[in-house]
Chains A and B, each alone.
Chain A
Amino acid sequence: MSPTIEVDDVSKWFGPVVALSEVSCSVEPGITALLGPNGAGKSTLLRILCGLTPPSRGEVRILGKRPRHDLDLNGRIGLVPQQEAVFDPLSALRFVALAAELHGVREPEAAAARALALVDLDPSVERGVGTYSKGMRQRVKVAQALVHDPEVIFLDEPLEGLDPRQRIRMIELFQRLGAEGRTLVVSSHVLDEVERFGSRVLVIAQGRLAAEGDFRAIRELMDDRPHRLRVGSDAPARLAAALLEEGVVVGASIESPSSVLVDTMRVNDLRRALAPVARRADARLLSVAPVDEDLEAVFRYLVSRR
């Protein structure tokens, strides 16, 4: 399958601030998640891909064309921007129909109604989108990006503000669009969200491409690092000794009479071994929680590896 998006050695700086540094990658049809902490450069990369801002260095090609000055290409891409702002006085139907009209879609109102239905919004609601909740606005933004049936869709944090049920519906919609052969680039800073896309992942951290590949490979990469977990138990000392003996932890310290902090390089092995080891040590397991699972720590680790 040939790539629909090609990014070649792209850097972007704003004055002295480097937002992106020497990013090269290619994206094929299907869902690709752009994962990274806030401020990592995901939105800047998406803006460059859409042509909203030029790269300071390097080149981007979408469907073989250079964005920014190619109006025909604009007709083949859709964007869900991160910012909440929309044309507040317009109704959702009018807002999405406007997008359809500007894309030259026949029967724009009918197309807009279909796009709104895709995101579970009622096209007959006449109040302005400015009065909508954050989640409803987010869905209107998705509808305007889909109304002209684009081949490439960029979504910047599209699940933000949605409730769990809407998130599931939206992820299903993205998966359906990806399965139809469209290219979706979805940015997110939430690891669990990206896991649910079940997609290829580009990890951006500190403006650099820190890792790329299938989600499972990235997950393993992320797991293959020193982890610290807090294990709650009624016998933490006995449990710590048993875990050390088993060889699944490299260090342990008793934190309180009911918990122990353990360090491991093999987090998956530890997860599997924990229950049987606790049973053998005659210790009750009360809880297991990661101490350093925040994304910043993961991304810092990935960047330091490169």
Chain B
Amino acid sequence: MSSLYRLMLATQLTRGRMAALAAVGLIGVLIGFAIGNSDPIDPDQAAFSFVDGYGLGLLVPATALVFAAAALGDPAEDATLVYLWLRPVARWRIVVASFAASVSVAIPFAVVPTVVAAGLTRTGRDLPVAALCASAVAVTAYSAMFLGLGLLVRRALVWGLAYVLIWEGFVARSGTAAARMSILVYARSLMADLADREPPRLAASVPVAIGVPLAVGVVALALTTWAMRRIDVK
């Protein structure tokens, strides 16, 4: 498993991806710094809205998408998957190793900048801790989902981005019942609860806000394993 994990790390961490996502993370950190050094009417709300919108709403899903969709999607596309598939290795091991590598690289590029930005808003210790927990849970769920998307769908980045912007960005904030099917709703609930802020619409309790995204992640990994068994390997 460790050799698969190391391989997946090496293949996902391309210079281009690292540079682009580091830049997006840095922008978040700079905005957090700007909020902390400005004088908004409601500093707490401004900080929370920023971490919610930029961190949880954009940086976390986008970073998870870029790495996780590439983890199995790139080998499937460039025909190197055969070098993993045709080994006496259980498919779930390949999937779990890819997932672990995706989460490992998404944390420094998404979770860390989100937490640092939350800290730089200078609104107390609650928000950074809440941002850490919420973004970690969200990264886990998104990475599992996008791992399968990358394996099954061509142009997974485009479809994934459409999902992030339309479903997670628009439907999740609509307050309708469909929003319960978005990861962002649970991550926001968790962050609001831990940061002691006003709960968003469709708020869930902490156990539910943690449990549902993780359950979604487990189901996504199971489906990806199932797909790995049935995929046509180039």
Give A residues with C-beta under 8 Å from B. 47, 50-53, 69, 71-72, 74-75, 77, 79, 81, 83, 85-87, 89-90, 98-99, 101-104, 144
B45 within 8 A of A: no
Chain A residues within an 8 Å CB radius of B7: 87, 90, 98
Taking CB atoms, residues of chain B closer than 8 Å to A72 are 88
The distance from the CB of B91 to the nearest CB of chain A, in whole angstroms, is 9
B198 an interface residue at 8 Å Cβ cutoff? no
B155 within 8 A of A: no
Contacts of A85 in B (CB 8 A): 78-80
User: Contact between A144 and B83 (Cβ–Cβ < 8 Å)?
Assistant: yes
Query: Distance in Å from the Cβ of B90 to the closest Cβ of chain A?
Result: 7
Inter-chain contacts of B167 with A (CB < 8 A): none
In the bound complex, do residue A99 and residue B233 qualify as a contact, i.e. CB atoms below 8 Å apart?
no
Q: Are A83 and B234 in contact (CB under 8 A)?
A: yes
Q: Does B10 contact A (CB under 8 A)?
A: yes
Is A89 within 8 A of B11, CB to CB?
A: yes
Verify A71–B233 contact, CB threshold 8 A.
Answer: no
- A102 CB contacts on chain B under 8 angstroms: 3-4, 84, 87-89
B10 touches A90 (CB 8 A): yes
Q: Which A residue sits closest to B10, measured CB to CB? A: A89
Q: Is B88 a contact partner of A101 (Cβ separation < 8 A)?
A: no
Query: Complex formed: what's the CA distance from A85 to B84 in Å?
Result: 13
Taking a contact as CB atoms under 8 Å apart, the answer to whether B3 and A53 are in contact is no
Distance in angstroms between the alpha carbons of A52 and B7 in the assembled complex = 21
Q: In the complex the two chains form, what is the Cα distance from A83 to B81 in whole Å?
A: 11
Does A83 contact B86, Cβ atoms closer than 8 Å? no
Q: Which of B72-116 contact A (CB under 8 A)?
A: 78-80, 82-90
Give the distance to chain A from B1, nearest Cβ to Cβ, in Å. 10
Given contacts A75-B88, A103-B88, A104-B88, contact A86 B83 (CB under 8 A): yes
Residue of A with least CB distance to B234: A83
